[in-house]
Chains A and B, each alone.
Chain A
């Protein structure tokens, strides 16, 4: 409880957003990375490039770009 009271009120206010948002984004990130590491071939570029792109755009742009341009068609 001590810790909680030390957090500024503004941040307390946005925690209900922050927590699920971070969870969703992490899930997306984890899923995308899993996909990259379990598939050896991509439509273009290589594994390293995609990992970097996905990490840089980890809010959600990275995964979208990967699924649009990197994922090999099943």
Chain B
């Protein structure tokens, strides 16, 4: 059974249709990437899962229990990391986690150990400073710690890496990968490389509806681009090859791309190179990137259907 299930959810803000018939399932112990541009409806979807926005149409289930607005029965199973988490600046990380522990009703005998464990995980254990002196990345890491406090079944992260520098991003992604065995993660982002690094399943949200959903490997296979690219050290070598093998798409003076090749093409290429003493710097088989798939999906939909 899916841990999170969204069924036919629609959402309007006034006359503005934000979500149209959103359906998605997240399996236990997977990382689900909700991808979309800014304004695609990612944050709205997440706030509805959290019961922070009313659900007028459709249903959301977490571990089989229905989410209702304002009430927080299902929230006990969720850990939430907002895009820019804000804490009480006059507290230390430890004090804030202690407050959270009391609010969630954790057994006080377990609190100390759990807090220590989490602060170790996010690398804030040695830090006794007040939160108002924290950097963005530190706040984000504390955000993960507080979200994981009561061992939630589902961790919701809203653009956890968007505001961070490359180092901070890597730290967050590593933490998310590390906790995959303990919980299920759904996170939204528009940074595709993050998704490629850690996600098992993805959903493409575009203009308020899900355009693709499924396993990332399957997605890539379905949108597999065939062919290869070859690069030489000099322009003359490149021209010689082009004359012998046939003209390809000229990517640069020394680079060629061949799409839709025939069986045995690559072997022929290697033969030509060997017999004419051409030494390529790089031969690469083409692979679908998430970016190409994403753009493909978006372009399909923006061109009007007749």
Question: Which residues of A line the B interface, CB within 8 A?
Answer: 73-74
Complex interface: chain B residues within 8 A of A74 (CB): 88-90, 132
* Among all A-B residue pairs, the 5 with the closest Cβ atoms: A74-B90, A74-B89, A74-B132, A74-B88, A73-B89
Name B91's closest neighbour in chain A (CB-CB).
A74
Min Cβ gap A30→B in Å is 21
- Pick 5 A–B contacts, CB within 8 A, sort by A: A73-B89, A74-B88, A74-B89, A74-B90, A74-B132
Q: Once the chains are docked, how many angstroms separate the CA of A74 from the CA of B132?
A: 7
Question: Which residues of B line the A interface, CB within 8 A?
Answer: 88-90, 132
Complex interface: chain B residues within 8 A of A73 (CB): 89
Name A72's closest neighbour in chain B (CB-CB).
B132
Name A73's closest neighbour in chain B (CB-CB).
B89
Min Cβ gap A39→B in Å is 10
Name B88's closest neighbour in chain A (CB-CB).
A74
Q: Once the chains are docked, how many angstroms separate the CA of A74 from the CA of B134?
A: 12
Min Cβ gap A41→B in Å is 10
Name B131's closest neighbour in chain A (CB-CB).
A74
Q: Once the chains are docked, how many angstroms separate the CA of A73 from the CA of B89?
A: 9
Complex interface: chain A residues within 8 A of B89 (CB): 73-74
Name B132's closest neighbour in chain A (CB-CB).
A74
Min Cβ gap B31→A in Å is 35
Complex interface: chain A residues within 8 A of B90 (CB): 74
Q: Once the chains are docked, how many angstroms separate the CA of A74 from the CA of B89?
A: 5
Q: Once the chains are docked, how many angstroms separate the CA of A40 from the CA of B132?
A: 13
Q: Once the chains are docked, how many angstroms separate the CA of A73 from the CA of B90?
A: 10
Min Cβ gap B105→A in Å is 27
Min Cβ gap A46→B in Å is 20
Q: Once the chains are docked, how many angstroms separate the CA of A73 from the CA of B88?
A: 10
Min Cβ gap B44→A in Å is 28
Min Cβ gap A34→B in Å is 16
Complex interface: chain A residues within 8 A of B88 (CB): 74
Min Cβ gap B15→A in Å is 36
Q: Once the chains are docked, how many angstroms separate the CA of A72 from the CA of B132?
A: 11
Min Cβ gap B93→A in Å is 15
Complex interface: chain A residues within 8 A of B132 (CB): 74
Min Cβ gap B84→A in Å is 16
Min Cβ gap A23→B in Å is 28
Min Cβ gap B63→A in Å is 37
Q: Once the chains are docked, how many angstroms separate the CA of A74 from the CA of B88?
A: 7
Q: Once the chains are docked, how many angstroms separate the CA of A9 from the CA of B90?
A: 49
Q: Once the chains are docked, how many angstroms separate the CA of A29 from the CA of B90?
A: 22
Min Cβ gap B42→A in Å is 29
Min Cβ gap B37→A in Å is 33
Min Cβ gap A71→B in Å is 12
